[in-house]
Amino acid sequence: MTFKRTALLLAVLFISLLSFAQTAKDARPLLQNVYGRAHSSLNGYWNYLVDPLETGYYDYRRRPTSDGFFKDHQVDNIKTYKEYDFDTSPVMPVPGDWNTFADNLFLYEGTLWFRRQFQYVPKAGTRVYLYFAGANYDTKVYLNGEKAGEHEGGYTPFNLDVTDLVKPGRNSLVVKVDDKRRADAVPTNNFDWFNYGGITRDVLLVELPQTFIQSYKVQLKKGSDNVLEMKAWMSGKQAGQKVEIEIPELKVKRSLVTDATGYASAEVKATPKLWSPENPKLYAVKISSATDAVTDELGFRTIETRGREIWLNGKSIFLKGISIHEEAAFRNGRVFSAEEDLTLLSWAKELGCNYVRLAHYPHNEQMVRLAEKMGLLVWSEIPVYWTIHWEKDYVFENALNQLDEMIERDQNRANVFVWSIANETPHGDARDKFLSSLARHAREKDDTRLISMAMERNDKSKEVLSIRDNMSQYVDIVSVNQYVGWYDGLNEKIDRVRWEVDYDKPLMISEFGGGAVAGYHGEANQIWTEEYQAELYRKTLKMIDERMGYVAGISPWVLKDFRSSRRLLPNIQDGFNRKGVISDRGLRKQAFYVLRDWYSSR
């Protein structure tokens, strides 16, 4: 290769790195409480094109083209050459997942192009943002033929400033969504849930004043139940801007003044009634500046660990939980309505839960808000799952960005008590470095919550079970997914094991469980029957009561049977993970009642 060609290549590489940095940066910071701002919904029926070869993005030499489908050229097909046409393409609902919308896309993983036209009437002095609550996985957004930005990660929101791209009258919004699994993505290409593709959550057009309240956080200061820590971030990076935070019911009104970065903070004395599962009290809060105002409903609580206990509001709490995937009851696609959130959370309440583990990725914002209103504590998690490529910097950056987006979106939710940074990851130095950096970052960003991750057992012998994980020093709660009686022996084994866990930290069982087909009956030792699963629950709960010493909470796996392409056993699994205590069709299995009775006895 000549020197000139190398220099050229390096220059191209540099420019593309620069443009990546630009777009990644543009998608954050996140707008806090977007649903509380002036916005219009762009949900509805969008035209779509299925593009497995990404013809709309690359030319025939596989170079990104400047004249792709995103241009949405409105031309006369008879006189002008063009090989796509959104106007005559079919439509699909947004939010939605293409897999359950169209039979021929059920197992499709790749690119779809979406187009939505909308009318816009400009208002002087307004900034305009596009907000995507979630699109799986790799999303590129174009407005009127120009790139507005891009985002990687299927379960966290992002916003793009389109003030300079939006125009009066008709606008063309084109979105390329690619859900091809990749070994170096987060999650990696191998995971035990269904890879629903598409624009799976709301799309909003948000109108803001020139300088607006970017974000705020109002929570009890760590370690205190009578000092509120108030923080606000203005979009304009100037000193001396005033932000007022008012909580009328507490007679709190405080004026904050920004520093040169647009950030302001204050501490204020107050004695709120504390949010708890029994009394999920929320206060109306108003945040206002010279140009902007937003209201929210916020709860206040303290959460800490004391030795091997978790303390909520100064009292030890046992977490009665259940793990949940964000998959709709009855129809088994990605959740896309508040009613579907409600069904899942109502089932958790019916079980007697005070806590839900929203696995294995951040669920939609309304789900967390609804859980908060219903008195359910939330464990929130990023999809750092199984065999992540620990040694690659860009994989770490991706995980870190998803962690930031998760925290920024839900930093005001009183019910979120744990940021979970991983699930069942293989031990090793590269992994420890990766995860400890995530843990440190989460702690620095938010010291008002606890850090955990779902670990694996690392037993002392076949019957002496243990957890020995270097990461235990970085987390507040040691959590373990343990499957004695399923992946490890039959359910009779549960009676024979004992536990030796030596950490002076709370221990949670983030998962246990076994598969059962609703309506399939037999002996308690016959796997896949409801009886087997119920017996596994009975024995595990007895083990917790009598032989585990100390456990601060559990979230059995899992609320409802869910789709997974890893689950192939005919007539039993048929593409579903059957560990639900409720079936994919909404039928409660025997284990549901075993767990419910145990929760009601505690």
Binding site for ligand GCB (CB under 6 A): 192, 360, 423-424, 481, 511, 557, 577, 579
Give least dist CB 567 to ligand GCB, A. Answer: 8
Q: Which is nearer to ligand GCB, 407 or 453 (CB)?
A: 453
Give least dist CB 194 to ligand GCB, A. Answer: 11
Q: Which is nearer to ligand GCB, 193 or 355 (CB)?
A: 193
Q: Which is nearer to ligand GCB, 48 or 562 (CB)?
A: 562
Strand partners, 470: none
Q: Which is nearer to ligand GCB, 219 or 533 (CB)?
A: 533
Strand partners, 114: 48, 175
Give least dist CB 399 to ligand GCB, A. Answer: 17
Q: Which candidate, 543, 467, 540, places its Cα nearest to that of 505?
A: 467
> How do 283-289 and 355-358 pair as beta strands?
unpaired
Give least dist CB 8 to ligand GCB, A. Answer: 46
Contact 432, 470 (CB under 8 A): yes
Give least dist CB 528 to ligand GCB, A. Answer: 13
The 3-class secondary structure across 387-453, one letter per residue, is CCCCCCHHHHHHHHHHHHHHHHHHCCCCCEEEEEEEECCCCCHHHHHHHHHHHHHHHHHCCCCEEEE
Give least dist CB 67 to ligand GCB, A. Answer: 42
Q: Which is nearer to ligand GCB, 192 or 292 (CB)?
A: 192
Q: Which is nearer to ligand GCB, 175 or 185 (CB)?
A: 185
Q: Which is nearer to ligand GCB, 140 or 360 (CB)?
A: 360
Q: Which is nearer to ligand GCB, 219 or 332 (CB)?
A: 332
| CA separation for the pair 304, 76 (Å, rounded) | 65
Going by the DSSP 8-state scheme, the letter that residue 64 receives in this structure is B
Q: Which is nearer to ligand GCB, 153 or 187 (CB)?
A: 187
At residue 60's C-alpha, the angle toward residues 57 and 63, to 5°, is: 55
Going by the DSSP 8-state scheme, the letter that residue 221 receives in this structure is P
Q: Tokens in use for 232?
A: 């606000």
The gap between the terminal CA atoms of the chain, to the nearest Å, is 72
| CA separation for the pair 519, 507 (Å, rounded) | 34
Give least dist CB 503 to ligand GCB, A. Answer: 20
| CA separation for the pair 542, 548 (Å, rounded) | 9
Give least dist CB 323 to ligand GCB, A. Answer: 8
Q: Which is nearer to ligand GCB, 408 or 511 (CB)?
A: 511
Give least dist CB 434 to ligand GCB, A. Answer: 18
Q: Which candidate, 377, 371, 368, places its Cα nearest to that of 407?
A: 368
Going by the DSSP 8-state scheme, the letter that residue 558 receives in this structure is -
> How do 498-499 and 464-465 pair as beta strands?
parallel
Nearest residue to ligand GCB, by Cβ distance, number only: 192
At residue 522's C-alpha, the angle toward residues 518 and 524, to 5°, is: 100
Give least dist CB 38 to ligand GCB, A. Answer: 39
Is 98 in a helix, a strand, or coil? Answer: helix
Is 361 in a helix, a strand, or coil? Answer: coil
Q: Which candidate, 178, 175, 100, places its Cα nearest to that of 136?
A: 178
